[in-house]
Structure 1
Amino acid sequence: MFKKLDITDLLSSLDGWEAVEGREAIFKRYTFKDFDACFNAMTKIAAKAEEMNHHPEWFNVYNRLEVTLTTHDANGVTSYDKELAEFIDQTCA
């Protein structure tokens, strides 16, 4: 089960993530060398998200990936978002 987190505390523990204006969510952009590298990262993220049953909101164009995380059931950010954000950062490094 998830634990609801304070968004300010969460952001202080993550590198480069920012608050989404008007909602309890966090956001980050990634740029890859090409579409293949971006899609490979998305495939790994999708597998982790499915394993967690916690799915990102994301948008992809060519080598760019934009990710928004929130826990809809909690109406805010939770330990699930922290875990997935850390995995995404590791995958996209």
Structure 2
Amino acid sequence: MPEGTDLTTEEGLIAAADLLQPIHYLMPFLAHALGAFVGALIAGLIAATHKMTFALSIGLVFLIGGIMMVLSVPSPTWFIVVDLVLAYIPMAYFAGKMTTNKA
């Protein structure tokens, strides 16, 4: 992290937002994408039927959480777009495809 940043509080995050570089957004993106993927994968694996529906439902819940995050935590526009478009529904879809038995 850049020198003098305190990301433990919301105020510190807002103050440090201008100092953060694109590399600093990699871990939040991966956390959002992997969280949606693992949640959707687990939902798809334990669902007896409609596996894709359950997986996408988890992706939708994560997307709602991502939208709430965007509204409360300042981020660059490019990160907001990348995060909301690529992290939640696509990862849930991929996990849902992995759990369907289409051989």
Calculate the TM-score normalised by the size of structure 1. 0.34
Which structure has the larger Rg over C-alpha atoms? 2
Write 1 or 2 for the structure with the bigger share of strand.
Answer: 1
